[in-house]
Amino acid sequence: MCGIAGIVAAEPESFIGPMLATIEHRGRDDEGVWTSQPMDDTGRRVCFGHRRLAIIDTSSAGHQPMLSADGRYVITFNGEIYNYRELREELKSKGHQFRTDTDTEVLLAAFAQWGADCLPHLNGMFAFAVWDNQERTLTLARDHVGIKPLYYAHLPSKNGSRSSFIFASEVKAILATGLIERALDIEGLHQFLTFLWVPDPNTLFRGIKTLPPAHTLTLRDDEIAVNEWWDVSFDEIEAGRGETWWQERVLETLDRVVHMEMVADVPLGSFLSGGIDSSSIVAMMKNHSNGRRIATYTVGIESDDLRYDIIPDDVSWARQVNQPLDTDYHEIMLRPAVAELLPKLVYHMDEPAIDMAIPSYLVSRAARETLTVMLSGMGGDEVFAGYPRQLAMKIAGAFDPVPQLLRRPLMKTLERALPGGLPGKLTGPLRNAKKFARSAALEFEDRYLGYGTYFTDLAKLKIYTDDLRAGTHELDAYAAHRRYFARVQNAAPLNRLLYVDLKTFLPCLNLITTDKTSMAANLEVRVPFLNREMIELAAHMPPGLKLHGFKRKYALKRALEKLLPHDVVWRKKAGFGAPIRSWLRGPLRPLVDDLLSEETVKRRGLFRPSEVRRIVNANLSGREDYNLQVFQLMNLELWQRQFID
């Protein structure tokens, strides 16, 4: 895993140094720069930069940017190609010769052989750029679910000059050129307030976009074309297979992809939360470790910090899993100087930090003391239907026969009657019941979108200033989600939900947070549940084997009963986050008062100070659970101070 950057402009070498300096943390083993000959009569050239974290063939032979033997193609590549050895043999049979044992050289040869059509041949996680010296064409590509990030900016021509194009693994590298104005994107802000994150291809930065997962971008003659190269299909459900058959296929596939993703020439371990996803990864790794104990890392939370939160402590479960698996086990207790840590996380994230960024960074930093690569259980919920909101959709659907005239008032009354943020054992159930009631009476798509909404359209109208209202009144924050729902309108209801999450929530929140926080610690994280083989297997599985009655991830759990203790397999789901509800009332309270003070909010000019204060006070009183919204607004101000001011 590495950091990549590039620019098409006049005198590009003057920009690439500052770009690479901002992403030094992504790769500290090597740095490389390549610059082309002038590509047109204006003197523009292409410049690629690379920061290397050496994983496969750690010798200098893996230096990037890398040129093909004939000099036609140049690549800068971030990620890993897990099936590179098999591809290497196939390409050898077609006449290609290899000088190194790197997956980069194999990827370069594959592109030379097939062009962008090489992408379906790849099993891996990647973001890369290839320059074709002969065709004068730049190609960017991103993996099938967006495990690796890739941002770009296309600056139009002005004053008679040709346009410029910039790309990088992180936004801060694009900003380091000084060629693009640091400005807030209003549509991105509108979406961010809705979801806590911004759907691709938008960002919070005006003029900077993400390349969506499973897409390529080509730049030729100043024209950009963005095309999709892969999509998951739910059209071929194998309904005739029995439950035992599916359990066997799940175990076989999980074992194969874990083994595949263990390829590395550096120390490798796994996160261990004590949940079924990470526990199953560790169990499969044990099968292929040649007797070596797997190094595992677990995050624990102090009991005093759990009064207001629904996050169970993972430590006791992780210890239970560790006993039969006998790992090299490490515990990290979550005791950060959180007020000092947040600005650092905002910098590394390029966007406001969410709660899961805190434990993700701290456990990555601890693991990096002994390891270079970690496997993670992320993705199991998206692939096999493990989120409570998916079950909530099924329960709410039972009320659909009730006429809207009765259903809506009933749910509205229930929502108003329930408290949102009081401490105690009923904190979680009451909070979830209130969230359920808020959206249960809506139609199918709106209901699901409601479960993932933090500032509703009405709430945004209340908090926006008049100018921001005017600037957003024609924007639909849910437009991207609705497009994805439309793509799978004929799929089973559950599969429609899984598809939308796979295209939005997964890459834009979970994967981007994992990448940025782990790379801030110079650590590579791999996600076997999101291997394309696993995703495509689950897409063929009958929905009733994913959500079976009230049992989420049913087929996966039944399969894992063969590997893990029964209590671990069927334990209550735990989210991966931080106890921000307690922190907002403790160590973060002074920061909230500063960042969301009337003076600060008024000076920023986006929100009404009185409404911001109402939200903060309602949250502190326990009348409402606005903890994530307060945390969101606080981090938004930190982000603006870091990147915009």
Q: DSSP letters along 348-404, please? A: HHTSPPPTTHHHHHHHHHHHTTT-SEEE--TTHHHHHT--HHHHHHHHHHTTTTS-H
pLDDT band at 312 (very low <50, low <70, confident <90, very high): low
- Top mean pLDDT of 149-158, 173-182, 413-422, 559-568 is at 173-182
Please, which residues have CB within 8 angstroms of residue 20's CB and are 6 or more apart in sequence?
3, 5, 31, 33, 49, 50, 51, 173
Residue 544 reports pLDDT greater than 70? yes
pLDDT band at 400 (very low <50, low <70, confident <90, very high): confident
pLDDT of residue 291: 85
Residue 623 reports pLDDT greater than 90? no
pLDDT band at 307 (very low <50, low <70, confident <90, very high): low
pLDDT band at 420 (very low <50, low <70, confident <90, very high): low
- Positions of CATH 3.60.20.10 in the chain: 2-228
Q: Which of 157, 134, 177 is nearest to 222 (CA)?
A: 157
Asked if residue 105 lies in contact with residue 66, where contact means CB atoms within 8 angstroms, the answer is: yes
**What is d(CA 507, CA 499) in angstroms, rounded to the nearest whole number?**
12
pTM: 0.95
Better-scored residue on pLDDT, 309 or 334: 334
Lowest mean pLDDT among 82-96, 396-410, 581-595: 396-410
Stretch 184-205: mean pLDDT? 98
Residue 313 reports pLDDT greater than 70? no
Residue 487 reports pLDDT greater than 90? yes
Q: What are the angstrom distances between the C-alpha of 199 and each of 21, 379, 483? A: 28, 18, 12
Please, which residues have CB within 8 angstroms of residue 118's CB and are 6 or more apart in sequence?
107, 110, 111
Lowest mean pLDDT among 166-180, 307-321, 548-562: 307-321
**What is d(CA 342, CA 510) in angstroms, rounded to the nearest whole number?**
18
Contacts of the segment 451-458: beta carbons below 8 A, 24+ positions apart:
451/389, 451/392, 451/393, 452/195, 452/389, 452/505, 453/194, 453/195, 454/193, 454/194, 454/195, 454/196, 454/628, 454/629, 454/632, 455/193, 455/194, 455/629, 456/194
CATH architecture of 2-228: 4-Layer Sandwich (3.60)
Residue whose structure tokens are 């200098």: 60
Residue 310 reports pLDDT greater than 60? no
Stretch 588-617: mean pLDDT? 97
Residue 156 reports pLDDT greater than 90? no
Q: Under DSSP, is residue 109 helix (H, G, I), strand (E, B) or coil?
A: helix
Residue whose structure tokens are 């039972």: 398
Q: Domain 243-385+515-569 - what CATH class?
A: alpha beta
- Count the helix, strand and coil residues of the chain and give each as a percent rounded to the nearest 5: 45, 15, 35
Residue 363's Cβ-count burial label (10 Å; 0-12, 13-18, 19+) is buried
pLDDT of residue 618: 93
The overall average pLDDT reported for the chain is: 93
pLDDT of residue 426: 58
Lowest mean pLDDT among 2-16, 419-433, 447-461, 496-510: 419-433
pLDDT of residue 422: 63
Residue 425 reports pLDDT greater than 70? no
* pLDDT tens per residue across span 215-241: 999 999 999 999 999 999 999 999 989
pLDDT band at 40 (very low <50, low <70, confident <90, very high): confident
pLDDT band at 143 (very low <50, low <70, confident <90, very high): very high
Lowest mean pLDDT among 185-194, 416-425, 459-468: 416-425
pLDDT of residue 397: 86
Determine what percent of the chain is predicted with pLDDT higher than 90.
79
Q: What are the angstrom distances between the C-alpha of 561 and each of 229, 521, 545, 614? A: 37, 35, 15, 48
Residue 82 reports pLDDT greater than 60? yes
Q: Which two tokens stand for residue 118?
A: 């090489």
pLDDT band at 442 (very low <50, low <70, confident <90, very high): confident
pLDDT band at 1 (very low <50, low <70, confident <90, very high): low
Residue 173 reports pLDDT greater than 90? yes
Better-scored residue on pLDDT, 416 or 344: 344
Q: Which two tokens stand for residue 290?
A: 């040649």
- Positions of CATH 3.40.50.620 in the chain: 243-385+515-569
pLDDT of residue 376: 97
Residue 535 reports pLDDT greater than 90? yes
Residue whose structure tokens are 């008049």: 466
pLDDT of residue 306: 66
Better-scored residue on pLDDT, 440 or 123: 123
Q: How many residues does the chain have?
A: 645
pLDDT of residue 579: 86
pLDDT band at 160 (very low <50, low <70, confident <90, very high): low
Q: Which of 125, 579, 574 is nearest to 375 (CA)?
A: 125
pLDDT of residue 481: 98
